[in-house]
Chain A
């Protein structure tokens, strides 16, 4: 029997269940313990599993993430939380040069079972240092996995996959997604990486939407349907590994591609997706592929300005209409 819960609750449940399942699982980060994280995603963990495994830390991101690595290679399955993903710049050396490289440099001697969780995304006037999405940076680094689930079912199942796996995973949660609801089974389950989901079927345009853009694309698709245009919305769920097969199969039907992400456009993940599609299936494209992404500007505070930077359903809708020669 399924239940309807929020993404926040789904992530919380995944923590509780994995902590109960395996006593090697620990979490550390600023405010993850007594406070239960600012968004409440780790609520109750501290009381249930104690200060040894649920560790409030000083504000020392490099040490937290580096300690996750040391713990991972000696027998724990640590989760490191970065309060806002923007601050992942601080432990960047540990992630890029140590976590991603260590097993390879040392000849495959050890596994690196660790998860770094961090909220991404803009909205609500959090300005330039609390609004960014850096999935493209980490997708670029061999040795890392990057996932961005945006339904409760996926958030819970993919966090479990991340915790149980033997690789370092960047698990990015959209701040505007925490209250999204959806059905989640009672029983234990996992969601595999590298498998996209078709959120809405359609025959005219394929929209590959990353994270929160899935929901914006679905809204646009509904409005377009009323105009007689049917969009297929694909949620890749994981950024690396990325499921190109599902995208290419869709293109064979629609022959038109839009990729949308909230991160600013320049050198974003959309550029990689489009280039892969063009290389693999150029002949399937009837129109030029288009990327609908954030503007290449620092996120401004004022809501009036912020809304100009973040891509929305209207941007997607207009892009579809242009591709369909309906403007």
Chain B
């Protein structure tokens, strides 16, 4: 009996449809400088290296609990956050490492957090699934699917009430689109014309549930029509396509024209979490996607073919991320464990803890 959630035939058919209907050729838009383009590649490579190491470190038990890799999604986070400026916010998902790096976060602090160390972003209290770099505008990863939606709406509400011109990107997955709060949040933001961009990272899999089986219409962007806001689908393996869609939505949001829904469609050709054995699908069905769509390879090929950078330069940028991640692993391994003194910190405000101790 074939118990795989997808056959090779179906996977190939989906890939072909993707190529025909969604895939966009890489071409850097005119408004991005060479430096910005190379920085996009560097961040994508940094995510790739970071999360490749996370998998290894989890198996060695340096990282524990639950860790979800952003591998294959690098173009979405980096493309989207390139369209932001300082002061803008994002909300994240349980797959948040790529979002931290996309917002310019510090890999040492992130690696320390994943190893539960005291100098981690969250002092070892959040781990991978609750990684947050609030000072960079990354308002945190949450482990309940879809739950970041209204939080992003609230951040956008502050901008609206306080007449500030920042925008908020709400990253979420295809799994989140079938939660009730997804609909409530988009509807509320649309009714109030709030400056928020709902960016669906549609990797087509909610653990073992293929999106084709999870909804009557797997084109997420179509749902925008129901809320009276623009909706587009872009190639989620292509950082420039994501950048351009988000840039346009950001412009609209800053102009007070309200929210947009962007579906960055890609394909999770890795496990749901780093130790997922993927027993629900034949893993060879992932291979065609990884071979043909890998965003790092596509970006590397583009940079060289377009003459943006030489082969050596590209290799040197990539190597710099390998070194940075290796250094972060050493840093985190040697970082101190948190102690009991900080166990209660942050449960309530400092003044409340002083009065009542929180216990």
Contacts and interface: CB of A to CB of B under 8 A. Distances in A.
A78 interface: yes
B181 A63 contact: yes
Contacts of B122: 105-107, 109
A198 interface: no
Candidate in A55, A109, A145 with the most chain B CB atoms within 10 angstroms: A109
A78 B153 CA distance: 13
Given A73-B155, A98-B147, A107-B123, A58 B188 contact: yes
A76 B158 CA distance: 6
Interface string B112-132: 000000001111111000101
A258 B131 CA distance: 46
B132 A106 contact: yes
A65 B150 contact: yes
Considering the complex of A and B, which 6 residue pairs feature the smallest CB-CB distances, nearest first?
A70-B154, A66-B150, A108-B346, A107-B122, A63-B184, A60-B184
Given A105-B130, A166-B349, A94 B157 contact: no
B120 A107 contact: yes
Interface string B123-147: 1111000101011000110111001
- Chain B's interface size range is 35 or more
Contacts of B192: 55
Interface string A109-151: 1110000000000000000000000000000001101000000
B156 interface: yes
Contacts of B162: 24, 75-76
Candidate in B124, B143, B154 with the most chain A CB atoms within 10 angstroms: B154
A67 interface: yes
A73 B153 contact: no
B188 A63 contact: yes
A64 B346 CA distance: 24
Interface residues of A, number: 46
B126 A69 contact: no
Contacts of B156: 70
B204 to A, nearest CB: 25
Interface of B: 89, 91, 120-126, 130, 132, 134-135, 139-140, 142-144, 147, 149-162, 168, 180-181, 184-185, 187-188, 191-192, 345-349, 351-352, 355-356, 358
A167 B349 CA distance: 6
29 contacts: A58-B188, A62-B150, A62-B184, A63-B150, A63-B184, A65-B150, A66-B149, A67-B153, A67-B154, A67-B157, A68-B154, A69-B151, A70-B154, A71-B155, A73-B139, A74-B154, A75-B162, A76-B158, A93-B147, A93-B181, A98-B142, A98-B151, A105-B125, A106-B126, A107-B124, A107-B126, A143-B347, A165-B349, A166-B351
Nearest to B124: A107
A67 B196 CA distance: 12
A111 B149 CA distance: 19
A74 B158 contact: yes
A63 B153 contact: yes
A53 interface: yes
Contacts of A98: 142, 144, 147, 151
Contacts of B134: 73, 106, 109-110
Nearest to A76: B158
Contacts of B132: 105-107, 109
A72 interface: yes
A155 to B, nearest CB: 21
A70 B157 contact: yes
Contacts of A44: none
Contacts of A53: 161
Contacts of A62: 150, 180-181, 184-185
A75 B155 CA distance: 9
Nearest to A192: B355
B151 to A, nearest CB: 4
A166 B352 contact: yes
A26 interface: yes
Nearest to A66: B150
A72 B134 CA distance: 14
A104 B346 contact: yes
A109 B63 CA distance: 23
A98 B149 CA distance: 11
Nearest to A168: B348
Interface string A7-43: 0000000000000000010100000000000000000
B58 to A, nearest CB: 19
B60 to A, nearest CB: 24
Interface in A40-61: 52-53, 55, 57-58, 60
Contacts of A67: 150-151, 153-154, 157, 185, 188
A107 B152 contact: no
